Structure 1
Amino acid sequence: MMRVVLILLAALLIGGLLSLGFQYDTGYIRISLGPYLVETNFWVGLLLLLMITLVLQFILVFARRLKGGTGAITGWLNQSAERRARRRTTQGLLALAEGNWPRARKLLSSAAERADTPLINYLASAQASFETGDHDAVDEYLRQALESTPGSELAVGITQAQLQLAGNRLEQALATLIRLRKQSPHHPFVMKLLKSVYQRLEDWRELSELLPELRKRSLLPAEELDSLERETWHNLLQQAADDIRRQPAGSRDLTPLVRLWDELPGSMRRDEVTIADYARQLSSLGDDDQAETLLRKVMRNHWSDRLVSLYGRVKGAKPDEQLLVAERWLQDRPNNAELLLALGSLSLRNELWGKAREYFETSLRLRRSPETLAELSRLNAHMGDQDTSQRTLVQNLLKESGLPDLPMPKA
């Protein structure tokens, strides 16, 4: 209100001055511009000049306000676009969770540029494209994801490796993971993915070098790690033995297999399954002496039914001493069915037929093993006791078959 009063007073003052000016001296203004000539009263010209100044001032103020209004409109439009992007992102993620891959890809990719987190949109779009089998689109969305967010190399790389692994593109997944491990050598998830790739590629050598790191950082349950380590060294021993078998029969060199055994970690050199694998490979390659020595040393401090069974099958250089060693074990384990079976086999190797049959019969009474039954039946047959051999087989077959108790004709 005060501002309006001041403006009115200023206008009255100016008007009064102009009225006095008109009475005192009208004067004139002459402006020549090319062929044009403008002449006017001084006071009228001054009034026009003031009016022009006021109009220009008004135009400038209006322009500034219009510019501010345009920014507000632009801001409102941007906020509206961001809200739409968030809504489409939410709908796209729901479609992805529901398995509607084409809709998910369309919604997520269209909202990516305006999304608060474009990285998520592009990664999810890559996932949806993978599910539709469009691998070119997968690579493109991953590239856009990398460009959209600085520092996202690891996240994008892991997603890429997972999709390559899921698509059975194992060589590409391996290359991606090796690159990621150079960037982050101890990243747990990268190492776990590498483990899966090596396992599926059956690259046991690389897996054996990765296993200590997996165990050190407890990236897998202990039981799973033990099983994986056992599988890894089993396959490495098998590969080494197969390579030796491809050598000429008369000049086979077992050095690679023995050297591999020396490379085994201590836990595997004490593992009965792995020891049995190694001894079995030695025996199959003709080195029964070394297999027998290994088994005897292990059994001296660590009893194992698995290993004693294998000991009964190994053809040592001195079968009589081998039998004596096993019989000393029997003093501490007189009712061990597996040891009695091994003793029966060793007795056969020493051609002690009666002792062998006694060991087999005792073992069979303690545990009805198909292997023990077969050994006893075979021995009885070769000793001329065909009836006993057949009766033993038939009785065991009937027991194992689970047939119901039904009436039978009398012979």
Structure 2
Amino acid sequence: MRRLFLLLLVALLIGAGLSLGLQYDSGYIRISLGNYLIETNFWIGVLLILVVTLALQVVLAMARRLRSGTGIVSGWLNQSAERRARRRTTRGLLSLAEGNWPRARKLLEASADKADTPLINYLAAAQCAFECGDHDAVDDLLRKAFESTPGSDLAVGITQAQLQIAGNRMEQALATLIRLRKQAPHHPFVLKLLRTVYERLEDWRELSALIPELRKRELVDKDELQRLERITWHNLLERAAEDIRRQDGERRDLTPLIKLWDELPGSMRRDEFTIREYARHLSLLGDEHQAETLLRKVLRNHWSDELVNLYGRIGGEKPDEQLLVAERWLQDRPNNPELLLALGRLSLRNELWGKAREYFETSLRLKRSRETVAELARLNAHMGQQEQSNQMLLQSVLKDSGLPNLPMPKA
């Protein structure tokens, strides 16, 4: 009402002004343009100018409103496209979960441009392409993923490495992960993937350097880490021993193996399985003295049936002293079958045949093992008791073979 009142007031004032103007002087306006001539009084000319001005204002207002309307339509169309992209992305992810790789790839890739998170679309589409066996498309989709989202190089690289590992392309995966580790040296998932690649490539040296980082970041549980560390150093010891066996000449240089032992972490140098492997390599490569010294030192403080078995197989520089050391251990472990077996073998090294047989028989009474049976049978055979030896071997074979109880012909 207020605006209407103001308009009426303005109209009245303009009308009054025009009326007074006409009474005062009508004036005269003449416009000549080529062959055209326009004549009118002054006040009608002013009125025409006002009408033209208002008309121009109306036209401009309509143009602005039309342009604004076009923007609204454009925005509505964009919103509609985004909604369709979200629906397609949802259907694509559902198809991915269902294992329908071709359909999932088609939906995810088609909706990536309008999707809220194109990175997710392209990475998921890359996985679909991998499952379809289209490795060229995988690389192309990963490139698009990288280009779609700034700062996505780590996410794209991890996905690429995972797909390369799944496709058994270990060298390419290693190159990708080394690049990623330069960007994020302590990234947990990058370190886990590196562990997998090193293990699959059997790159034990690099894996041994990675293990301390895995332990520090607590990325592997304790038991699995011990298994991983053990297999890593066992393989390094095996390779060092193999390289020594390839050496030319009669006398072999065991320095690489000994140096590698010095590099072992403390936990592995206290691990009985690793100690056994190292001592076994020393013995097989001809340094039985160092192997016997190591085992004697270890067994003095840490008992192990595995190690005492190996101790009985190794010939030290002083067999009599080696036998005395083992017999002192027997005072604390009189009923240990492995120690008794080792004592029997050490007695053989000292050519104490009767003593060796007593040790073997005592060990066999405590624990029946093929190894002890074989040692006792071999000793009996060389002592002229061939029939007894053969009977013992036959009984051992029959008992360990698990044969059913069946009737046999009488002799």
Same structural fold, with TM-score higher than 0.5 when normalized by the shorter chain: yes
- Where do 4+ consecutive residues of structure 1 move more than 6 Å? none
Residue 385 (structure 1) aligns with: 385
- Structure 1 residue matching 2:30: 3-state secondary structure: strand
Deviation at 1:278, TM superposition (A): 0.6
1:260-409 maps to which residues of 2 (within 5 A)?
260-409=260-409
Cα distance in 1 for residues equivalent to 2:381 and 2:122: 75
1:146-185 maps to which residues of 2 (within 5 A)?
146-185=146-185
Q: Provide, for residues 159-193 of structure 1, a one-character-per-residue CA deviation record: whole Å limited to 9, x for no partner.
A: 11111111112122112211221222111111111
Deviation at 1:34, TM superposition (A): 4.3
Identity of aligned residues (%): 76
Deviates more, 1:343-352 or 1:251-260: 343-352
- Structure 2 residue matching 1:249: 3-state secondary structure: coil
Deviation at 1:355, TM superposition (A): 1.9
Cα distance in 1 for residues equivalent to 2:118 and 2:129: 16
Call closer, same or farther: CA 1:23–1:288 in 2, change over 3 Å.
same
Cα distance in 2 for residues equivalent to 1:33 and 1:393: 137
- Structure 1 residue matching 2:396: 3-state secondary structure: helix
Q: TM-score, normalised by structure 2?
A: 0.93
Cα distance in 1 for residues equivalent to 2:35 and 2:286: 124
Cα distance in 2 for residues equivalent to 1:399 and 1:242: 38
Deviates more, 1:315-324 or 1:41-50: 41-50
Residue 217 (structure 1) aligns with: 217
- Structure 2 residue matching 1:37: 3-state secondary structure: strand
Cα distance in 2 for residues equivalent to 1:216 and 1:328: 42
Give, as a single letter, the amino acid of the residue that structure 2 aligns with 1:129.
A
Unpaired stretches in structure 2, ≥5 consecutive residues: none
The question of 1:199 aligning with 2:199 is answered yes
Cα distance in 2 for residues equivalent to 1:36 and 1:169: 88
Unpaired stretches in structure 1, ≥5 consecutive residues: none
- Structure 2 residue matching 1:213: 3-state secondary structure: helix
- Structure 2 residue matching 1:32: 3-state secondary structure: strand
Deviates more, 1:256-265 or 1:348-357: 348-357
Residue 56 (structure 1) aligns with: 56
Deviation at 1:345, TM superposition (A): 1.6
1:1-20 maps to which residues of 2 (within 5 A)?
1-4=1-4, 6-7=6-7, 10-11=10-11, 14-15=14-15, 18=18
1:72-83 maps to which residues of 2 (within 5 A)?
72-83=72-83
- Structure 2 residue matching 1:368: 3-state secondary structure: coil
Deviation at 1:12, TM superposition (A): 5.7
Q: Provide, for residues 255-275 of structure 1, a one-character-per-residue CA deviation record: whole Å limited to 9, x for no partner.
A: 111111111111111111111
Cα distance in 2 for residues equivalent to 1:405 and 1:247: 54
Give, as a single letter, the amino acid of the residue that structure 1 aligns with 2:261.
W
Residue 132 (structure 1) aligns with: 132
Paired residue total: 411
Cα distance in 2 for residues equivalent to 1:17 and 1:97: 81
Cα distance in 2 for residues equivalent to 1:294 and 1:315: 13
Cα distance in 1 for residues equivalent to 2:406 and 2:122: 71
Deviation at 1:199, TM superposition (A): 0.9
Q: Provide, for residues 280-337 of structure 1, a one-character-per-residue CA deviation record: whole Å limited to 9, x for no partner.
A: 1111111111111111111111111111111111121222221221121111111111
- Structure 1 residue matching 2:124: 3-state secondary structure: helix
Give, as a single letter, the amino acid of the residue that structure 2 aligns with 1:70.
T
Cα distance in 1 for residues equivalent to 2:24 and 2:218: 105
- Structure 2 residue matching 1:39: 3-state secondary structure: strand
Deviation at 1:380, TM superposition (A): 2.0
- Structure 1 residue matching 2:38: 3-state secondary structure: strand
**Superposition RMSD in Å:** 2.0
Q: TM-score, normalised by structure 1?
A: 0.93
- Structure 2 residue matching 1:250: 3-state secondary structure: coil
Cα distance in 2 for residues equivalent to 1:404 and 1:243: 48
